[in-house]
């Protein structure tokens, strides 16, 4: 714990460096949004009794269908396929299935269709725009509520660090925990692995809850120790508080990862990247709660002390 407090500036700098890299990835690659946020159609087909063709080969066939361009193809299970495109109608979907059947065969040995229809869904632009707005508003309101709650809850721990800075330190930690998974998914989206959907936003909100809970445990211990020992040696208080909460934070994160990692490797396609987002956020949250949030308070205390505002 001595090294965390002693080198608080470096832990803080490393956290900001990771945040800058993640923000740079978001700016460079952009976010690949799903049709829930952009509007469009999701067509589903199933390959029965034959090996599913490669994504590259499927892409060439699908792009040859009139009305479809730049499809996003995602395998589901062993035989099904999800094809995300701009908004199409029933006739375009029928043409898509017909083109796949003409390329990969019409019937198997039993007379069944090799390529089976699984239907398609459409999301209009007005619905997608509303979802985007609600997602951003939801994340913003959560951030504001967290600052207000922490500032209120820690109002009695206002010396030597003003209570509002506990909320600011928590927000710095939360930004770290949000930027890292978003940056990673920006890169994954750029190479066609996955995209930002509603489940991703749900995962981000879950990360906010998990991370702020972990951070508040550390802050609460600091507050209790300030009551016991006073605030004259704030760095020692932070050091003792981290020692008392470290094992709890690590065990909580490891327990959650023990659940999320098997879901990512063994779970279905629909929850695979939801579990990955939570796993990334859990690791980032463990780091921010132990190193970033406490380091923010220590560095603020040192700044106030240099200004002569605290002893």
**CATH code: domain of residue 71:** 3.30.70.3400
Regions of the chain with pLDDT less than 70: 1, 49-50, 105-112, 124-128, 156-158, 231, 309-311
Q: What residues are paired with 82 via a beta bridge?
A: 44, 74
Domain boundary among 99, 123, 147: 123
- The per-residue pLDDT for 280 is 95
Answer yes or no: are the C-beta atoms of 215 and 170 closer than 8 Å.
Answer: yes
CA distances from 17 to 2, 20, 121, 179, 292 (A): 22, 5, 41, 11, 12
Residue numbers of the domain that contains 45: 40-123
140 and 105, same domain (yes or no): no
Is residue 251 a part of any domain in this protein? yes
175 and 138, same domain (yes or no): yes
Domain boundary among 81, 97, 123: 123
Domains contained in the chain, number: 2
| Spatial distance between the Cα atoms of 50 and 79, rounded to a whole number of angstroms | 8
161 and 261, same domain (yes or no): yes
Helix axes 269-287 and 164-190, enclosed angle (nearest 10): 140
pTM beyond 0.85: no
Nearest to residue 19, comparing CAs of 215, 194, 181, 249?
181
| Spatial distance between the Cα atoms of 281 and 275, rounded to a whole number of angstroms | 10
- The per-residue pLDDT for 124 is 66
294 and 182, same domain (yes or no): yes
Is residue 311 a part of any domain in this protein? no
Is residue 158 a part of any domain in this protein? yes
pLDDT in tens, 159-178: 788 877 888 888 889 889 99
7 and 92, same domain (yes or no): no
135 and 239, same domain (yes or no): yes
Burial 31-63 (b: 16+ CB within 10 A, else e): ebbbbbbbbbbbbbbbbeeeebbeeeebbebbe
132 and 208, same domain (yes or no): yes
101 and 212, same domain (yes or no): no
What CATH number is associated with residue 238?
A: 1.20.1640.10
Domain boundary among 89, 123, 157: 123
The greatest distance separating any two alpha carbons of the chain, rounded to the nearest whole angstrom, comes to 86
- The per-residue pLDDT for 157 is 65
259 and 131, same domain (yes or no): yes
- The per-residue pLDDT for 50 is 64
Is residue 147 a part of any domain in this protein? yes
8 and 65, same domain (yes or no): no
For the chain, the first-to-last Cα distance in angstroms comes to 23
CA distances from 197 to 35, 55, 279, 303 (A): 8, 21, 17, 42
Sheet strands (E) in the chain: 40-47, 72-76, 80-85, 115-123
Helix axes 293-306 and 164-190, enclosed angle (nearest 10): 130
92 and 203, same domain (yes or no): no
- The per-residue pLDDT for 1 is 62
21 and 99, same domain (yes or no): no
């Amino acid at each position: 714990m001595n090294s965390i407090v002693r080198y608080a500036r470096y832990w803080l700098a490393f956290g900001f460096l990771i945040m800058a890299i993640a923000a740079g990835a978001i700016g460079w690659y952009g976010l690949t949004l799903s049709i829930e946020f952009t509007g469009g159609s999701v067509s589903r087909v199933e390959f029965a009794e034959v090996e599913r063709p490669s994504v590259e080969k499927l892409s060439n066939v699908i792009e040859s269908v009139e009305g479809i361009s730049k499809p996003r193809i995602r395998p589901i299970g062993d035989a099904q396929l999800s094809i995300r495109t701009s908004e199409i109608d029933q006739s375009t979907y029928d043409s898509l299935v017909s083109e796949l059947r003409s390329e990969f065969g019409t019937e198997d040995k039993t007379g069944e269709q090799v390529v089976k229809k699984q239907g398609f869904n459409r999301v209009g632009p007005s619905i997608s725009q509303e979802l985007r707005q609600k997602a951003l508003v939801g994340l913003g309101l959560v951030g504001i509520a967290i600052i207000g709650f922490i500032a209120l809850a820690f109002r009695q721990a206002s010396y030597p660090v003003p209570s509002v800075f506990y909320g600011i330190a928590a927000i710095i930690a939360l930004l770290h925990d949000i930027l890292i998974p978003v940056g990673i998914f920006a890169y994954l989206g750029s190479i066609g692995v996955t995209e930002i959907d509603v489940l991703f936003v749900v995962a981000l909100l879950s990360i906010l809850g998990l991370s702020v809970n972990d951070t508040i445990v550390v802050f609460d211990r600091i507050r209790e120790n300030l009551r016991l020992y006073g605030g004259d040696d704030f760095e020692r208080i932070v050091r003792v508080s981290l020692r008392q909460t470290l094992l709890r934070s690590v065990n909580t994160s490891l327990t959650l990862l023990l659940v999320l990692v098997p879901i990512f490797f063994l779970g279905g396609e629909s929850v695979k990247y939801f579990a990955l987002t939570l796993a990334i956020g859990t690791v980032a949250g463990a780091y921010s709660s132990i190193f970033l949030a406490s380091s923010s308070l220590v560095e603020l205390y040192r700044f106030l002390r240099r200004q002569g505002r605290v002893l």
